[in-house]
Structure 1
Amino acid sequence: MTTTQPDFTGSRIDHLNIAVPDLPAAVAFYEPVLAVIGIVTMMTVPASDELPAMHGFGWPHKPYFWLIADGTVGSNMHLAFTVDSREQVRLFHRTALAHGATSLHAPGDHPAYHPAYYGGFVVDPHGINLEAVTHTAES
């Protein structure tokens, strides 16, 4: 029997907003952590009568991950970022720990998900379970 690797390219999610209680602290954490996997600040929106302050990260054409000021983080929140290599998973994990995250699962294989699944999990300073994952077998 021949099995094929699932196609994990692309996403149908346009953007994701996460409310945090302390926007400046969240930005200070996420900027260096996301930068190591190629996701950068693209836009900030100051608070107004209509909207809370917001900070948008993305690449290459638009922000797709937004931190929203003055909110409450939901329970059991998990966010995984796809990266290109196992080294990027390890770098994401190390950088997150250096900026205040706690380790949930050290970078490693997770064959229960599929044979090439390699991820590293942390909990950010606001309690969000973050992961960097690659779906590429080690070469």
Structure 2
Amino acid sequence: MTSLDRTGSQIDHLNFGVHDLAASAEFYSAALEPLGVTEIMRVPVGPDQLAMIAFGWAAVKPFFWIVDAPGSRIGPHTHLAFSAPDRASVDAFHVAALAAGATELRAPGLQPEYHATYYGSFVRDLNGIDLEAVCHHD
């Protein structure tokens, strides 16, 4: 087995097809703002290109994309977890996501089944994607 440089992320970016790009952009802008994740760019529709909106941290490239794909289907148990810098950000994500139209799956709190300081919040977005904000420290 070889040693890998693990200083960067292991996944460069993720794309999810959404039923309503404008509504999803509005939802994610509101829900992810407490985590410092914002809209970074938009890719317009083209001959071989679906319209897309990218989110990430402003000083870094985008890592989360939503794609205008009205007929797409999200598989059961599709889950996306966003890192939060602290527990207050997890709480703020939860409030913002619910206000933007998410369905609550699990209120913010310790999730000791994962590890002793795992603090997370779980919601379902407008497209059926299970979202989480998680902080791994006190």
Q: Structure 1 length normalisation: TM-score?
A: 0.88
2:65 alignment counterpart? 66
2:77 counterpart of 1:76? yes
Tell me what 1:22 maps to: 20
Structure 1 residues 89 and 72, CA, compared in 2 at 3 Å: closer, same or farther? same
Q: What amino acid is the match of 1:24?
A: A
**Can you list the C-alpha shifts for 1:53-82, whole angstroms capped at 9, x where unaligned?**
000001122111000111332321000001
Counterpart of 2:66 in structure 1: which amino acid?
A: L
1:11-58 Cα shifts (integer Å, max 9, x gaps): 311100011111111001001111111011111001111110000001
What are the ranges of 5 or more consecutive residues in structure 2 without an aligned counterpart?
A: 1-6
- Residue 10 of structure 1: CA displacement? 5.5
Find runs of 4+ consecutive structure 1 residues off by over 6 angstroms.
none
Which amino acid in the other structure matches residue 126 of structure 2?
P
Q: Percent identical across equivalent pairs? A: 49
What letter corresponds to residue 30 of structure 1 in structure 2?
A: Y
SS state at 2:127 partner? coil
Where do 5+ consecutive residues of structure 1 fail to align? Answer: 1-8
TM-score normalised to structure 2 length: 0.89
Question: For residues 91 and 10 of structure 1, what CA distance do their matches in structure 2 show?
Answer: 27
Q: Over aligned residue pairs, what C-alpha RMSD do you find?
A: 1.2
Structure 2 equivalent of residue 130 of structure 1: 131
Structure 1 equivalent of residue 89 of structure 2: 88
Q: Distance in 2 between matches of 1:44 and 1:92?
A: 23
Partner of residue 99, structure 1: 100
Question: Which letter does structure 1 place at the counterpart of 2:135?
Answer: T
Distance 1:11 1:134 in 2: 17
Match of 1:61, SS state, is: coil
